[in-house]
Amino acid sequence: KQEVTQIPAALSVPEGENLVLNCSFTDSAIYNLQWFRQDPGKGLTSLLLIQSSQREQTSGRLNASLDKSSGRSTLYIAASQPGDSATYLCAVPSGNTPLVFGKGTRLSVIA
Amino acid sequence: NAGVTQTPKFQVLKTGQSMTLQCAQDMNHNSMYWYRQDPGMGLRLIYYSASEGTTDKGEVPNGYNVSRLNKREFSLRLESAAPSQTSVYFCASSDLSLDRGILETQYFGPGTRLLVL
């Protein structure tokens, strides 16, 4: 059974700092991985989707990498802003289950 | 485009009552999903519908039923609500095709907050 772990569970950084969020998964036989953002009381918004044939994907200040062999993905946020404060979740497919989610990293960017 | 819409936004039920959560998407997606989100447990898949006319169990299906009414709509029913079903419920849709093994981006609705007393 696929298990997804995100470390740290919470992170607080000053504005402008570059930061890395980590995601690990137990079954490396995945065909892609997704990163989501969730604001308090809201639904999830997809940030990046990395196919298994890709090593990384970029969108603006966000860069996600994928290392299938080690079962790891990282989400890099450059020059963090208070508006980046949210919970970030990663998710991977597992067998016939479309997505298995990690519990997320709650990020606070302090102005 | 409204994306994925869910009704109601909030609901309070008494133990044993029944209700149906409604979900609709206007993106012409083939696949739709129901999740629940609980503190400390993360998001867990309840049921999904890979395509119109099909439904499959997810990780936590007990106590729920679903209906894929048409390509746009996917409803979740609680026949006899229990306090353990207090949660936030999210509907999502995508162009996932399990047959092709291709996962496209999932789009989420705003959620339904359910309290069962």
Q: pLDDT digits over B7-21, tens only? A: 999 999 999 999 999
User: If DSSP codes are grouped into helix, strand and coil, which group holds residue A102?
Assistant: coil
What pLDDT, on the 0 to 100 scale, is given for residue A51? Answer: 84
Check CB contact of A101 with chain B, cutoff 8 Å.
Answer: yes
Please name the member of B58, B110, B111 whose beta carbon is closest to the beta carbon of A97.
Answer: B58
What pLDDT, on the 0 to 100 scale, is given for residue A75? Answer: 97
Please name the member of B90, B98, B104 whose beta carbon is closest to the beta carbon of A43.
Answer: B90
What pLDDT, on the 0 to 100 scale, is given for residue B102? Answer: 58
pLDDT at position B96 over 70: no
Give B-chain residues touching A98 at CB under 8 angstroms. 31, 33, 45, 48, 94, 96, 98, 103, 106
pLDDT at position B26 over 90: yes
On whether the CB atoms of residues A43 and B109 are closer than 8 A, the answer is yes
As a whole number of angstroms, the distance between CA B96 and CA B51 comes to: 9
What pLDDT, on the 0 to 100 scale, is given for residue B2? Answer: 80
pLDDT tens string, chain A, 111 residues long: the values are: 889 999 999 999 999 999 999 999 998 888 889 999 999 989 999 999 888 888 899 999 999 999 999 999 999 999 999 999 999 999 998 776 778 999 999 999 999
Q: Calculate how close chain A gets to B15, using CA atoms only, in Å.
A: 25
Q: In terms of Cα–Cα distance, which of A32, A2, A33 is closest to B58? A: A2
As a whole number of angstroms, the distance between CA B46 and CA B26 comes to: 22
| pLDDT, tens digit (0-9, with 9 covering 90-100), for B74-92 | 999 999 999 999 999 999 9
How many residue pairs from chains A and B have C-beta atoms closer than 8 A? 61
